[in-house]
Chain A
Amino acid sequence: MTNVLAIAQKELRSYFASPIAYIIIGFFALLFGFMYTSILDWFIRQGMQMSMMGMGPRNMNVNQQMIRPLFLNVSVLLLFILPFLTARSYAEEKRTGTVELLLTSPLTDLQIVMGKFAGAMALFGVLMAITALHIGLLFFFGTPEWRALLAGYLGIVLFGGCIVAIGLFISSLTQNQIIAGVATFAVILMLWVVDWLAESVGPRTGDVLRYLSMTAHLDDFVKGVVDTKHIVYYLSVIGFGLFLTVRSIDAERWRG
């Protein structure tokens, strides 16, 4: 555990020692702030229209009409941002030769992978804290349902975990950060849109494609529904991604 923490701490430090963390956090805050403002604006205008039509703002639901679209927007932001967070994690170690230090230290492959995962998730946690700051403001002016909100966060964290796990695996395959970033982005985007064909490939394959889609599983969470089916899906993807990363490090060893 100490070893995992040591690696995680090192990862987090290296994000902040380079401009990467600041760029990612900065642009995420900017884009999220913009989305927040525009959705809030739409929500307020909608509310005013409703009350003018005599239906009253009571019928407006902050969770469904404000937080849910916001979370879906966050998931799009993560698709763009997280692949670049994980791109360097192994690629850079391999390029500079520091991987030799890690692999000749008394660490297991799993500890190294878990440390890197935890490090990336910690930075992801900073991004989530920024969103929480914004969403927290809503409590001053309205009464969002906090349990539904937590369900949404659970979904987003699992969703982000998937991207990080897959990103780590892809990063472990190359020395080149750009290749790692682009490949991760492509794979995640593929998992995003994979159910578009679901209607036309027959019922059984269609179900498989729908099940594979990363976003389809997110929607229930942001609606405030925690369904074990979706938790199992996300945890499987995370577990599988990390497992592949461990195997990939080991394979790299044999290849030399």
Chain B
Amino acid sequence: MIEVDHLTKRYGPVTAVSDVSFTVNKGEILGFLGPNGAGKTTTMRVLTGYMPATEGRCVVAGYDVFEHPIEAKRRIGYLPETPPLYSDMTVREYLHFVAKIKGVPARDRARRVNDVMERTWVADMANRACGKLSKGYKQRVGLAQALIHNPEVLVLDEPTAGLDPKQIIETRRLIKELAGDHTIILSTHILPEVSQTCQRVVIINRGKVVAVDTPENLTRRLRGSETMYVQVDAARADDARPVIERIPGVVRVAAGDAPGAFEVESEAGRDIRRELARAIVQSGLDLLELRPLRMSLEEIFLSLTTEERGEEERPAEVVQ
């Protein structure tokens, strides 16, 4: 549904996005994850036809965004970083105007406007001027505007920015509901958002794609080495360390967050839980807790975007 092919965007000498490629399948929600200034907004702006690419191309719903901008734009709903509201129009007027320029037929407009206002919970503010709305309402009117022509593709730049926690949950639920009928690409720098809403994640850093995968796979893949959390009775904590270190396959033992707790790192792909438990019990220590430590997406994100900084040459792992 969305195809981004070797996209590069330069602003004069500055390269904002460099050789980014990914695809989004129909009905899928793709998360676009990266720190501020990574090139998320630039990619989305190229994708929506706001600005042309320096190199590469974007195809949306079968139309090249640059070659057939009108056809492509008809099929895209876009929520920019700042909701593009006319502050002196009321919400209803504004949505009517957007419906008109997005090509919604005159007889459907009133119905569509009411429809999206219901869906994005802004109906109670229908006659309020856009400029007088709170940040959360503005964001939702922005979302309503993106939905107005029922586009096949939704491009949402930080859709939950500025919302309160309840609204964030509601918005995520709405986005999930919309998937299926719509293909969605959303950007964010909030990690839980990705694991909660997206089926696939593109991690982008300094203009380059660092990884494309499902949130689960990323978590798994990043656990190159397995880490166990072990806690023994604190009274004999000092005796525990040599016992653990002697177990075959253990790479590193670090002190944990509590007295008697350790984080035990083992070789990749090697399950040492049995040996670990046995060794501790056999040496007469009291085993209180033993569990694998899963890396949260947050850590993945941090490790991906910090570790690779030294090895720019390494090709980005792109899953097509």
Residues of the B chain whose Cβ atoms lie less than 8 Å from the Cβ of A253: 50-52
Q: If the complex has contacts A104-B73, A104-B76, A106-B73, are A14 and B51 also in contact, measured as CB distance less than 8 A?
A: no
Residues of the B chain whose Cβ atoms lie less than 8 Å from the Cβ of A38: none
Q: Are B88 and A10 in contact (CB under 8 A)?
A: no
A residues near B (Cβ < 8 Å) are 2-3, 6-7, 9-10, 13-14, 17-18, 96-108, 253-256
Q: Residue B11 contacts which of A99, A101, A108, A256 (CB distance < 8 angstroms)?
A: A256
Q: Are B78 and A104 in contact (CB under 8 A)?
A: yes
Residues of the B chain whose Cβ atoms lie less than 8 Å from the Cβ of A14: 86, 88-89
Q: Are B102 and A105 in contact (CB under 8 A)?
A: yes
Residues of the A chain whose Cβ atoms lie less than 8 Å from the Cβ of B88: 14, 17-18
Residues of the B chain whose Cβ atoms lie less than 8 Å from the Cβ of A105: 73, 98, 101-102
In the bound assembly, the distance between CA atoms of A104 and B88 in angstroms comes to 21
In the bound assembly, the distance between CA atoms of A102 and B89 in angstroms comes to 15
Residues of the B chain whose Cβ atoms lie less than 8 Å from the Cβ of A17: 88-89, 129
Q: If the complex has contacts A96-B84, A98-B84, are A104 and B145 also in contact, measured as CB distance less than 8 A?
A: no
Q: If the complex has contacts A253-B50, A253-B52, A256-B11, are A101 and B98 also in contact, measured as CB distance less than 8 A?
A: yes
* Closest chain A CB from B81 CB (angstroms): 8
* Closest chain B CB from A8 CB (angstroms): 11
- Interface size for B (C-beta < 8 A) is 35
Contact of B22 with A by CB under 8 A: no
B residues near A (Cβ < 8 Å) are 9, 11, 16, 42, 45, 48-52, 69-71, 73-74, 76, 78, 80-82, 84-89, 93, 97-98, 100-103, 129, 145
Residues of the A chain whose Cβ atoms lie less than 8 Å from the Cβ of B70: 106-108
Q: Are B49 and A254 in contact (CB under 8 A)?
A: no
DSSP majority for the B interface? Answer: mixed
Q: If the complex has contacts A101-B98, A253-B51, A254-B52, are A13 and B93 also in contact, measured as CB distance less than 8 A?
A: yes
CB nearest neighbor in A for B142: A101
Q: Are A100 and B101 in contact (CB under 8 A)?
A: no
Residues of the A chain whose Cβ atoms lie less than 8 Å from the Cβ of B45: 100, 256
Q: Residue B84 contacts which of A2, A6, A13, A100 (CB distance < 8 angstroms)?
A: A100
Q: Are B51 and A254 in contact (CB under 8 A)?
A: yes
Q: If the complex has contacts A14-B89, A18-B88, A106-B70, are A97 and B50 also in contact, measured as CB distance less than 8 A?
A: no
Q: Are A101 and B52 in contact (CB under 8 A)?
A: no
* Closest chain A CB from B20 CB (angstroms): 16
Residues of the B chain whose Cβ atoms lie less than 8 Å from the Cβ of A103: 49-50
CB nearest neighbor in A for B16: A256
Residues of the B chain whose Cβ atoms lie less than 8 Å from the Cβ of A9: 97
A-B contacts besides A100-B45, A256-B45, 10 pairs, CB < 8 Å: A10-B86, A18-B88, A103-B49, A103-B50, A104-B78, A104-B80, A106-B70, A106-B102, A253-B50, A253-B52
Q: Are A97 and B84 in contact (CB under 8 A)?
A: yes
In the bound assembly, the distance between CA atoms of A64 and B190 in angstroms comes to 73
Q: Are B97 and A6 in contact (CB under 8 A)?
A: yes
Q: Residue A98 contacts which of B71, B73, B74, B85 (CB distance < 8 angstroms)?
A: B85
Q: Are B9 and A256 in contact (CB under 8 A)?
A: yes
Residues of the B chain whose Cβ atoms lie less than 8 Å from the Cβ of A104: 48-50, 73, 76, 78, 80
CB nearest neighbor in A for B83: A97
Interface centre among A9, A18, A256 (most CB of B within 10 A): A256
Q: Are B101 and A7 in contact (CB under 8 A)?
A: yes
In the bound assembly, the distance between CA atoms of A254 and B45 in angstroms comes to 12
Q: Are A3 and B76 in contact (CB under 8 A)?
A: no
In the bound assembly, the distance between CA atoms of A13 and B129 in angstroms comes to 13
In the bound assembly, the distance between CA atoms of A17 and B93 in angstroms comes to 12
Q: Are A256 and B51 in contact (CB under 8 A)?
A: yes
CB nearest neighbor in A for B99: A6
* Closest chain B CB from A18 CB (angstroms): 6
Residues of the A chain whose Cβ atoms lie less than 8 Å from the Cβ of B69: 106
CB nearest neighbor in A for B47: A104
Q: Are A100 and B102 in contact (CB under 8 A)?
A: no
Residues of the B chain whose Cβ atoms lie less than 8 Å from the Cβ of A101: 80, 84, 98, 145
In the bound assembly, the distance between CA atoms of A2 and B105 in angstroms comes to 10
What are 9 A-to-B residue pairs whose CB atoms are below 8 Å? A3-B101, A14-B89, A97-B80, A97-B84, A101-B80, A104-B73, A104-B80, A105-B73, A106-B71
Residues of the B chain whose Cβ atoms lie less than 8 Å from the Cβ of A100: 45, 50, 78, 80, 84
In the bound assembly, the distance between CA atoms of A98 and B101 in angstroms comes to 13
Residues of the B chain whose Cβ atoms lie less than 8 Å from the Cβ of A10: 86, 89, 97
Interface centre among A102, A106, A107 (most CB of B within 10 A): A106
Residues of the A chain whose Cβ atoms lie less than 8 Å from the Cβ of B145: 101
Residues of the A chain whose Cβ atoms lie less than 8 Å from the Cβ of B73: 104-106
